[in-house]
Amino acid sequence: MPSTYQPPVATMRFLLEHVLDFDAQMAALPGLEEVTSELAGEVLTMAGRMCTERLAPLNLPGDAAGTKLVDGNVVTAPGFAEAYAEFVEAGWPGLAGDPEFGGQGLPRTVQIMLDEMVSAANLSFGLFPGLTRGAAEALAAHGSDELKATYLGKLVTGEWCGAMALTEASAGTDLGLLRTRAEPRGDGSYAVTGTKIFISSGDQDFGNNIVHLVLARLPDAPAGVKGISLLLVPKFLPGASGAFDERNAMSVGALEHKMGIHAQPTCVMNYDGATGWLVGEAGRGLNAMFTMMNAERLFVGIQGLGLADAATQNAVAYARERLQGRAADGRPGPVPIIAHADVRKMLLACRAFVEPARALAAWTAIRMDSADRHPDAATRDAASADVALLTPVVKAAFTDFGFETTVLAQQVFGGHGYIHEAGMEQFVRDARITQIYEGTNGVQAMDLVSRKVTLNGGAPLRAYLDGIAADIDKSDSGDLAVQMRAALAMLEEASATIAAASGDADALGAAATEYLNLFALVSLGWMWVRILAAAPALEDAHSRDTYAALAAYYASYVLPRAGLHAARIVAGPATVMALDEALF
């Protein structure tokens, strides 16, 4: 059975136009004045067609075929190279890219909606343009004019691909431990030597250049993170003719055997004195990487959302078709299993997450567009702080809830969900990586409690929570408002606890994941408040009914989780730290 996927473009348009005030927001941003939710809808309709017609059909076969290493060269799954060429030809990689370098100059907000659909249709594929965009962002922010002139345009358009080479076997979360070396050659270039693991899109057979951004140590660099520099290391160097036809001294050591994203070539990369150039200042490599980290982490959160939506759509379709058992309403059986309360709960739980998550992602992306472009510095700063605050929440919560959603959706299929051909187990396996890469979700939670809560003395958090409180007060959303006030009060109290624990790594570590979950539950509930407030604008009464039912489910079945996380924060770190390390 091929997977069902309907691009949620109508919903996206509704969110932009009625929930998030997109048109007015864009009108204030130089370069985006003409971008409206109508235009976004048109672009996304085309994007949705590409996702359903070109990418989704390659997803299940790509999982089965996987990637291969043949004579040192990566061979991608059938159809991927052609699909990538079409993707580039249509201009999708540069959707939000700088027009000066061949991009379309559209908002990040539209980009993340494209990202959601691409992830839903084919996550393994989506990582090719995703990492390319990340490399382009880092290069744009930190590269020399010369490097940019050579490489940036090719990356923005996707003609060449990008890869980010950070992790080593002994240096994951703790990049300060990395050992790859970069030796200056005296001609402005460096010889890069070392082995990196888990390198997504490290190599492929698309017939183009691949620009690796590699973290390495220069000679005499200090130990730890301050000794790390970023180098641009292309697969192909300009040869004698000036064409990029000379193979650099780098190779694929192996393809990782992974739980999922089988069609994505995750490489062990060997750099054997490969030629590279410094991006940004020596010793400031992590800084350069973190420039684009917000966007990359938001992208990963979006992947969780996209997979959750695709899985949910399939579960709903299956629950309508699958006939088993009898219903309480007495109609003759067997009935579609969507009649059963337990199945309905699973579907409601899935959709009650997906809808507000999409809204919150778009809200965050709009703030990102403001941070990039608003003419007023204070407005930019405030937007930037919101993005900093929300980034770990979107990354971790969307991937944790997203994974849970794929598991629930798979469960709706019963035994059939465990079988490859149904496609549901692939969603689960693919979603699992999103909780891990670009910083594990534990790392995201530590970022939130140790840096973001106290950012600028806590002012951005204060403003964020006040905004939520104001929207609740404006709403007439009944039980949802009651539950939201209770949950918001818990979040306020927990925020004070976190702020008071500043610098106490154990207290913060014990509270981190709980706080992030509490924060996410309130934030998603806030989006429900805003969606319900905007719902009267919908012409379709059925859509209003759907939102009302999902929001009610969120209020009475999901928001009570807030109390669990609050209780754990109150419990504090003593219980967590008590047991001797040897006695686990």
Residues 344-373 that bind its own copies (CB under 8 A): 344-348, 351
Question: What does DSSP say about strands 266-279 and 228-234: parallel, antiparallel, or unpaired?
Answer: antiparallel
Least distance between its own copies and beta carbon 111 (Å): 26
Among 432, 447, 452, 515, binds its own copies (CB under 8 A): 432
- Expressed in angstroms, the distance from the first to the final Cα of the chain is 45
Contacting its own copies within 179-208 (CB under 8 A): 197-198
- Report, in Å, the least distance between residue 158 CB and its own copies: 26
Told to check if 396 binds its own copies by CB under 8 A, we report no
Of 87-95, 301-309, 323-331, 361-369, the window that binds its own copies (rule: CB under 8 A) is: 323-331
Specify the DSSP class assigned to residue 171: B
Map residues 216-255 to x or -, x wherever contact with its own copies holds by CB under 8 A: ----------------------------------------
Number of residues that bind its own copies (CB under 8 A): 99
420: buried, middle or exposed (CB in 10 Å: 19+, 13-18, 0-12)?
Answer: exposed
**What gap in Å lies between CA 228 and CA 534, rounded to an integer?**
48
Q: Which stretch binds its own copies (CB under 8 A): 45-53, 226-234, 331-339, 373-381?
A: 331-339
Smallest distance, its own copies to C-beta of residue 11, A: 13
Q: Per-residue DSSP letters for 89-136? A: HTT-TTTTS-GGGT-----HHHHHHHHHHHHHHHHHHHHHHHHHHHHH
- Cβ distance to its own copies smaller for residue 161 or 558: 558
For its own copies, which residue of 24, 70, 240, 328 counts as binding (CB under 8 A)?
Answer: 328
Q: Is-catalytic flag, 116? A: no
For the segment 249-308, give every residue that binds its own copies (CB under 8 A): 256-260
In angstroms, the CA 462 to CA 467 distance is 9
Judged by CB under 8 A, does residue 445 bind its own copies?
yes
Give the C-alpha separation, 538 to 546, whole Å. 11
Neighbours of 295 (CB within 10 A): 21
Out of 71, 187, 342, 539, name the contact with its own copies by CB under 8 A. 342
Verify binding: residue 340, its own copies, rule CB under 8 A: yes
- Please give the single-letter amino acid code of residue 153: G
The Cα–Cα gap between 49 and 63 comes to: 21
Applying CB under 8 A, the span of 143-151, 181-189, 283-291, 442-450 interacting with its own copies comes to: 442-450
Contacting range for its own copies; rule: CB under 8 A; set: 89-97, 145-153, 281-289, 333-341: 333-341
Q: Which range binds its own copies by CB under 8 A, 35-43, 93-101, 369-377, 551-559?
A: 551-559
> Would you say 158 or 439 has its CB closer to its own copies?
439
Report which secondary-structure segment, H or E, holds 195.
strand 190-200
Both structure tokens of 135: 């490399």
Q: Which of 490, 452, 502 is nearest to 568 (CA)?
A: 490
- Is 10 one of the binding residues for its own copies (CB under 8 A)? no
The yes or no reply on residue 341 touching its own copies (CB under 8 A) is yes
Supply the minimum distance, in Å, between the C-beta of residue 508 and its own copies. 8
Residue 174 within binding range of its own copies, rule CB under 8 A: yes
Q: Does 331 contact its own copies by CB under 8 A?
A: no
Backbone angles phi, psi at 33, to 5 degrees: -55, -35
Which tokens hold the place of 195?
């082995």
**Could you say whether residue 339 binds its own copies (CB under 8 A)?**
yes
**Contact set for its own copies, span 486-505 (CB under 8 A):** 504-505
- Are β-strands 181-184 and 190-200 bridged in parallel, bridged antiparallel, or unpaired? antiparallel
325 binds its own copies (CB under 8 A): yes
**Which residue from 226, 420, 451, 474 is in contact with its own copies, where contact means CB under 8 A?**
420
Could you say which of 411, 493, 499, 533 contacts its own copies (CB under 8 A)? 411
| Largest Cα span, the chain | 83
Q: Is 542 in the site for its own copies (CB under 8 A)?
A: yes
Facing residues of 201 across strands? Answer: none
Q: Could you give the C-alpha distances from 198 to 204, 212, 330, in angstroms and in order?
A: 14, 13, 54
Q: Specify the stretch interacting with its own copies by CB under 8 A; choose among 14-22, 32-40, 238-246, 507-515.
A: 507-515
Cα–Cα distance, 523 to 367 (Å, whole number):
15
Q: Kindly report the CA angle at 297 between 222 and 124, in degrees rounded to 5?
A: 110
Q: Which position among 17, 137, 168, 438 bears the catalytic label? A: 438
Helix (H) / strand (E) element for 196: namely strand 190-200
CB nearer its own copies, residue 79 or residue 442: 442
Tally Cβ neighbours within 10 Å of residue 359: 25
Q: C-beta of 385: minimal distance to its own copies in Å?
A: 24
Length of the chain in terms of residues written: 584
The least CB distance from residue 113 to its own copies, in Å, is 22
* 242 versus 542: smaller Cβ distance to its own copies: 542
b/e per residue, 213-224, with b = 16+ CB within 10 A?
A: bbbbbbeebeee
Q: Please tell me whether residue 584 binds its own copies under the rule CB under 8 A.
A: yes
- What is the set of active-site residues? 438
